[in-house]
Structure 1
Amino acid sequence: MAHSEALSPTDTVAKRVREVRKRRGLTAEQLADKLREQGVLWDRYTVTKLENGKRQNITLSEWLTLAAVLNVAPTHLLLPVDGGEEAYQVTPTRTERVEQVRGWVRGHWPLPGANVIQFQAEMPEEEQGKIHLPPTQDRAARIDDIERSMAQLSTALQHLRGEGADGEGL
C-alpha cells in the first residue's frame, strides 16, 4: 500500500475526537475541563490543535484519558470506525488495511507475515488458542502464516528431542 495515502494514528485520533466531542455536545473547552479533572493538563487550544492536525503526537495516557472522558473504546479513537479497506499506518514504514489492523489491535490475529505462535504465546493463557477469523480475503494468507509457524515449531521440537532431519534420534 502506498504510504502517502495511509491514515496515520494521530490524524485518526484527531478526527475521531472531533467527531465524538461534537456528537456529545461538548465544546473544546468542556473537553479540556474533563481532561484536566482526570489529570491531563490540556486547555481548549490543545484540543483544537489536536483536532486541526497541528499537534503531531499524543501520549498513551492522553489517548486513554480522551477515550475515558468521551466514553468510547480506545480502539474506536485509534482506528476509523468505517473504511475497512483503507490503508492505515502501523509503523512509519508499514501500512495495512484498517480491517486487518483492527483485528491485530484487539488481539484477534497478528499482522500479516507474523509468527502466529509467537503472537499467541504473549496472550493471557485463557485467550490462547481462541480462533478469530480474519477477513475473508486474508484467510489464505493467514493459513500460510499458520502453516509456516507450525513448520518452524515442528523443526524446533525435532531439535529439542535430539532428532535429525530424517526423524531419527541422534
Structure 2
Amino acid sequence: MAHNEIWTPTATVAKRVREVRSRRGWTADELAKAMTEQGVKWERSTVAKLENGSRQNISLTEWLTLAAVLNVGPMHLLLPIGDSDDQYQVTPERTDRVEHARGWVRGYWPLPGANIIQYQGEMPEEEQGRIHLPPAKERADRINGIEASIAQLSTALQHLREEDDGKH
C-alpha cells in the first residue's frame, strides 16, 4: 500500500497471506488444501478471492488457521509490516498508527485515550503493571510518551490506594 494509506484488517491479512504464500512457494491450491487439512474447508477460489480483495471478511478461525498453516504469528498477518507511521483501521470508525495498534494487539498498552485502569483490570494479574512504551523516533516524543505513562500509572496507583482505603 502507498505511504499514508489506511490499512484495513482484511486487506492487510490478504496482502500478508499473498506475500507469505509466495515466499513459501505455495500455489493458491496448496494453501487451500493445507487449510482444509486443518479443518477449514477452503478452495483455490477462496484464496484467490481473499488475495484479490473481493472477499471482505475472514473469520477468527480462518485467520488463526492461516497463521498456523503458513507458520507465522497471527499478529504478523493481521497488522502490516513496515512503516509504523501508517494508519491502521482498528474499528470501522477508528484508525490509529500501526505501531499503536501493534502494541494494543500484543496487549502492551490500551489504545490512545482509553482508560488504563479498566484495560489493566482485564489482564492476567502477573501482567498488570508492566510498562511498555510505544517506540518513538524523536527524543521529545519519547519523553512525552514516558510522561503520559507516568501520569496514567499515577492515576492507577491512586485508584488502587483509594480501593485499599475503602476496604479498611
Q: Tell me the TM-score normalised to structure 1 length.
A: 0.83
| 1:68–1:156 distance in 2 versus 1, CA, 3 Å | closer
| 1:121–1:146 distance in 2 versus 1, CA, 3 Å | farther
- The aligned residue for residue 27 of structure 2 is 27
**How far did 1:120 drift?**
1.4
SS at match of 1:130: coil
**In 2, distance between residues paired with 1:152 and 1:121?**
10
- The aligned residue for residue 84 of structure 1 is 84
- The aligned residue for residue 121 of structure 2 is 121
The count of aligned residue pairs is 159
| TM alignment of 1:100-115, pairs within 5 A | 100-115=100-115
RMSD over equivalenced CA pairs, Å: 2.3
| 1:146–1:91 distance in 2 versus 1, CA, 3 Å | farther
- The aligned residue for residue 10 of structure 1 is 10
Percent sequence identity over aligned pairs = 61
Segments of 5+ residues of structure 2 without an aligned counterpart are none
Q: Tell me the TM-score normalised to structure 2 length.
A: 0.84
**In 1, distance between residues paired with 2:154 and 2:115?**
9
8 Å CA contact 1:133, 1:139 repeated in 2: no
Segments of 5+ residues of structure 1 without an aligned counterpart are 163-170
| 1:105–1:120 distance in 2 versus 1, CA, 3 Å | same
**In 2, distance between residues paired with 1:159 and 1:107?**
25
Matching residue's letter, 1:19: E
**How far did 1:114 drift?**
1.0
Q: Based on CA coordinates, which of the two structures has the bigger radius of gyration?
A: 1
**How far did 1:112 drift?**
0.6
SS at match of 1:95: strand
**In 2, distance between residues paired with 1:118 and 1:128?**
11
**How far did 1:140 drift?**
2.1
8 Å CA contact 1:40, 1:62 repeated in 2: yes
| 1:148–1:125 distance in 2 versus 1, CA, 3 Å | closer
After TM superposition, the structure 1 stretch with the greater mean CA deviation from structure 2, 147-156 or 91-100, is: 147-156
- The aligned residue for residue 130 of structure 1 is 130
